Amino acid sequence: MRMAEQSDNLRWLILLTVIIGTFMGRLDQTIVNLALPKIISEFSISIPEASWIATAYILANAIFVPVWGKLGDTQGRKKIYILGFAIFISGSVLAGLAWNLSSLLAFRVIQAIASSADYPTAMAILAVTFRQGRERAEALGLWSASFAAAAVFGPLVGGPLIDTFGWRSVFLVNLPVGIIGLAMALLFVKESTGRPTAKFDLWGAITLGICLSSFVLVLDQGLDWGWMSTNSLLCYATTILFGYIFYQIDTNHPEPIVDFKFFKINAFVNALVNNVVVFMGMMGGLFILPVFVQTYLGYNATQTGYLFMPMAFSMLIAAPIGSSLVGRVQPKYVIAFSTLMAAAGLYLFTGLDPRSGVLDIIIPIMVMAFGMGLGMPQRTNIIASAVPESEIGIASSVLALARNIAGAFGIALFATILKESTEGYALALSQNTVINTLDPVLRAEAIALMTLKAQILAYHEVFIVSSAILLVASALALTIHVRETKTGKEVFVD
């Protein structure tokens, strides 16, 4: 009995270990954006130049996720997880000591490459640590909720750090926290056997990296460039060309970076599609919410962070509830209902206007987050359970990559919708409004009110579109085919 209790305690310590690593990596990504104004001032750089601090991180992170997932499966997950963790801590310290923009960009790339090792290896570690379906779903759900928690607490932690100790502190704080997480990983995480191979898919990694970098780059910069500009068209062509080359390489490689046979598994494909659509709608919709709150309601960054705190708590409450339904309710129904609930939460934001109060923000956030948290354990568990244990790292890297791309696409899509809708509504209002005064002050006030009305209507349109996307995801969830045996084990069918 005592041995069983020790084993049980160790499992939950492993969960806490990977949550610390995941939380730290995502927190860093969030709070660095808060530090940009002070970085711009100290390095005397422009806003477009500073935007590359975020863009470089996104690009490097997206490119290396599949590589780390493959290395974890073949070389040992604990080894790769600790390597990524150690490099991330080193990159953080170097970024905190950066002397100009070029050095900061280089060290941010190091951070991003290392951080991209966390998701696929952490998910694989949890999947093999928690083997029982319901327990595994609960662990994966709590771990996934740490992403939302990091996004919420970023402004709360970052604001005081920057104001008190300067922008370098947001990087240097990773050193003490990282040492704790690294020590826990060394003590508690068990090494997987791995299956070392001399045939690493080098050309697959290179071509996939080029494909992803060009696609993420156009998603990040396309609105400024113009979606049909020369730069954007070159990125589209590069993405398609190298994506095709990558597919040809990896369908014939004995140890592919991405195993395309996964896409013959119904549950894997449909769960992945649901994840993509959900993250596209959620990230796109929530990307503009802080902008609305700070622009039209007058909140500062820290106050906005407080408004988002219920999001983390709702997800943390909902995740165990969702995991308790594993083996009791078919996953497709849980995922469909949870996605529908998240869609309802996003739709509630269509009632926002400059007179909105705190509850008008918090209630929709809590509804949306509870829906996301309720389905998160099932979504993640399906991906981990639908593939052989030896390839969970690859499968989780595909999931991470899909979520990252979907989030970036959602942000780009909704930023474009917001811009185009604002211009469209402004034009329509100006054409259908007569200002019966020659007083320049009154005319200026009327024009300002029309502009405000156009902007509010544009925000409403974004939330309508994002909720509609989640409605589509809810319907798609019903196509996930899982049947259960008499023992309660889930079987994923083609």
The pLDDT of 316-328, averaged and rounded, is: 82
- DSSP 8-class letter at 192: P
Predicted confidence at residue 448, as pLDDT, reads: 66
In this model, does residue 161 exceed pLDDT 70? yes
In this model, does residue 439 exceed pLDDT 60? yes
Helix (H, G, I), strand (E, B) or coil at 197: coil
The pLDDT of 31-58, averaged and rounded, is: 80
Going by pLDDT thresholds of 50, 70 and 90, the confidence category of residue 34 is confident
Predicted confidence at residue 338, as pLDDT, reads: 92
pLDDT digits (tens, 9 = 90+) for 105-135: 999 999 988 888 887 888 888 888 887 767 7
> Of the segments 37-46, 225-234, 455-464, 474-483, which one has the largest average pLDDT value?
225-234
The pLDDT of 1-8, averaged and rounded, is: 49
**Over the chain, what is the mean pLDDT?**
81
Joined together, the tokens standing for residue 438 give 């020659």
* b/e map 271-292, b = 16+ CB within 10 Å: bbbbbbbbbbbbbbbbbbbbeb
Predicted confidence at residue 492, as pLDDT, reads: 47
The pLDDT of 249-255, averaged and rounded, is: 86
More confident residue, 138 or 333: 333
pTM (2 d.p.): 0.78
Number of CB atoms found within 10 A of residue 475's CB = 14
> Of the segments 31-40, 336-345, 385-394, 472-481, which one has the largest average pLDDT value?
336-345
Task: Write the CA distances from 35 to 12, 40, 41, integer angstroms.
Answer: 34, 9, 10
pLDDT digits (tens, 9 = 90+) for 186-240: 988 887 665 665 577 888 888 988 998 888 888 878 888 888 999 999 999 999 9
